[in-house]
Structure 1
Amino acid sequence: MTKRVAILDYGSGNIRSAERAVARQGVEVTVTADFATAVEADGLFVPGVGAYAACMDGLRSVRGERIIGRRLAGARPVLGVCVGMQILFERGIEHGVESEGCGEWPGSVERIDAPVVPHMGWNRLEIPEGSTMFAGLPEEVRFYFVHSYAAQDWHLEDTGPLPKPKVAWCHYGKRPFVAAVENGALWATQFHPEKSGDGGAALLANWVSTL
């Protein structure tokens, strides 16, 4: 039976390119803001472009934080991309204004401290061992980033007794930042797999294999 992936439509951008990239993995893709459809799909793709606070407002308008929480409570796969990853943390801080996130992970998303911001282009990652997300990909694989904010000071001991997430880091600017997280049913990438060529397609294939 063909797997079904819902792309959550909450007013954020990059949906069409994501739709095409996911569909190429042989799944049925629906772009939707419907609560039941998003909860019941085999996989949920959460995009995100723009400001943290605006994305959270849009997410709440379709009860997206509840959709994500409901799915994770049932160990149903979720993939967040770019700001769709950032909103999974406790908070985002932009221009001195703090916004509450979904709180799936501890920590803050803040502006990158680097000579050139936004961070735009292709970068290699420090990939964790035993990762399903990056299985079969060469160490030198590069992914495409477009962002000014990221989670940078994330200490895995903050997750308490729960299984520790597998985290990929990217070195850019004064501090490395979280580039991807694999945490049970919850996966997320700061980069855009749908814009990352063969490497991004392989990552999406790895995600679809978990559905």
Structure 2
Amino acid sequence: MVAVLGEPGTRGALVKLLQDAGADVIVTAVPDQLREADGMVVAGGASSLEAYEDLKAKDAERVIGRRVAGGRPVLVAGAALSCLFDSVTVEHPQMGQVQVQGMGEWPGEGVELSTRDLAPGASALSPSADSALLKDLEGEAHFKSEHGVFEWAFDQSIEYIAPPAVTWTATEPAYIAAVENGPLTAVQFCPVGSGELGAEFMRRWVASLAVTGRLSSGDSVTAAGGN
């Protein structure tokens, strides 16, 4: 069972993609259901700040932390990826550039793509050799987020910690397209809008989930509308 963060009746395109990948799906903002699902999915649109505010409003930040600490899979897609880093710098209409504290799962800062003369769009991927979910995928991924993380500052010299697998865009300069870090997977691109690449990525992620039965299939729903 996969729990998608959201209100019932929304996230229809994402629900269909997950169902096509073989998952039973529930769309919910109920913390207990988000905690007990075999996998949790968080999807954001274009704005990292809006995605993070939505996370906090639904108390999902705490749920993500508990799931990751317990080794339970979480997939973060789209603009919410930048929120997993130390901070996100956003442009405020009155205050100018404002640095917003993120969740701190990884060191680094999300910045607006426009500061590097880039814009959202399609890009091929340059996966890590250690990637289990993106290696050997052909085609281009579609990026909607206005932010990106351009430096990977994780200390990979700590011997007892397996380094995350980091995938980059093929843009110039490149920015982080995905991070696979144990139970926590985050992709900057939109799986729904990325054609066969997005569909195959989702099939691989769903196939990696252990079925625990903690959340009954009777709770699953077919959502309509939204994405």
| Pair in the same fold by TM > 0.5 | yes
Partner of 1:197: 195
Residues 52 and 84 of structure 1, relative CA distance in 2, 3 Å threshold: closer
What per-residue deviation string (whole Å, max 9, x for no partner) do you get for residues 2-36 of structure 1? Answer: xx0000117xxx82221111111121111110000
Matched pairs, number: 200
Establish whether residue 58 from structure 1 lines up as the match of residue 66 from structure 2: no
Establish whether residue 7 from structure 1 lines up as the match of residue 4 from structure 2: yes
| Displacement of 1:142 | 1.7
Establish whether residue 36 from structure 1 lines up as the match of residue 35 from structure 2: no
Partner of 1:130: 130
For the 8 Å contact 1:114–1:172, the answer to whether it is kept is no
Per mean C-alpha deviation after superposition, the further-off stretch among 201-210 and 50-59 is 50-59
Identity score, percent: 31
Residues 31 and 168 of structure 1, relative CA distance in 2, 3 Å threshold: same
Residues 111 and 130 of structure 1, relative CA distance in 2, 3 Å threshold: same
The letter for the 1-side match of 2:45 is V
The letter for the 2-side match of 1:176 is A
| Displacement of 1:107 | 0.8
For the 8 Å contact 1:126–1:169, the answer to whether it is kept is yes
Per mean C-alpha deviation after superposition, the further-off stretch among 43-52 and 177-186 is 43-52
Matches within 5 A, 1:140-155: 140-155=138-153
The letter for the 2-side match of 1:67 is V
Partner of 2:218: none
Partner of 2:174: 176
Q: Which secondary structure does the structure 2 equivalent of 1:75 belong to?
A: coil
For the 8 Å contact 1:43–1:78, the answer to whether it is kept is yes
Q: Counterparts of 2:82 and 2:11 in 1: how far apart (Å)?
A: 17
Establish whether residue 97 from structure 1 lines up as the match of residue 98 from structure 2: yes
| Displacement of 1:183 | 0.5
Partner of 2:185: 187
Alignment TM-score, normalising by the size of structure 2: 0.81
Higher relative contact order (CA 8 A, sep 6+): 2
Alignment TM-score, normalising by the size of structure 1: 0.87
Residues 67 and 20 of structure 1, relative CA distance in 2, 3 Å threshold: same
Q: Counterparts of 1:200 and 1:44 in 2: how far apart (Å)?
A: 17
Residues 146 and 52 of structure 1, relative CA distance in 2, 3 Å threshold: closer
For the 8 Å contact 2:47–2:147, the answer to whether it is kept is no
The letter for the 2-side match of 1:106 is P
What per-residue deviation string (whole Å, max 9, x for no partner) do you get for residues 137-157 of structure 1? Answer: 34x432111222101122232
| Displacement of 1:74 | 1.1
Residues 52 and 119 of structure 1, relative CA distance in 2, 3 Å threshold: closer
The letter for the 1-side match of 2:3 is A
Residues 205 and 21 of structure 1, relative CA distance in 2, 3 Å threshold: same
Gaps of 5+ in 2: 92-96, 210-227
What per-residue deviation string (whole Å, max 9, x for no partner) do you get for residues 60-117 of structure 1? Answer: 11111101011011111001001121211111101111111111111110012444x4
Of 83, 86, 89, 1:87 maps to 83
| Displacement of 1:159 | 8.3
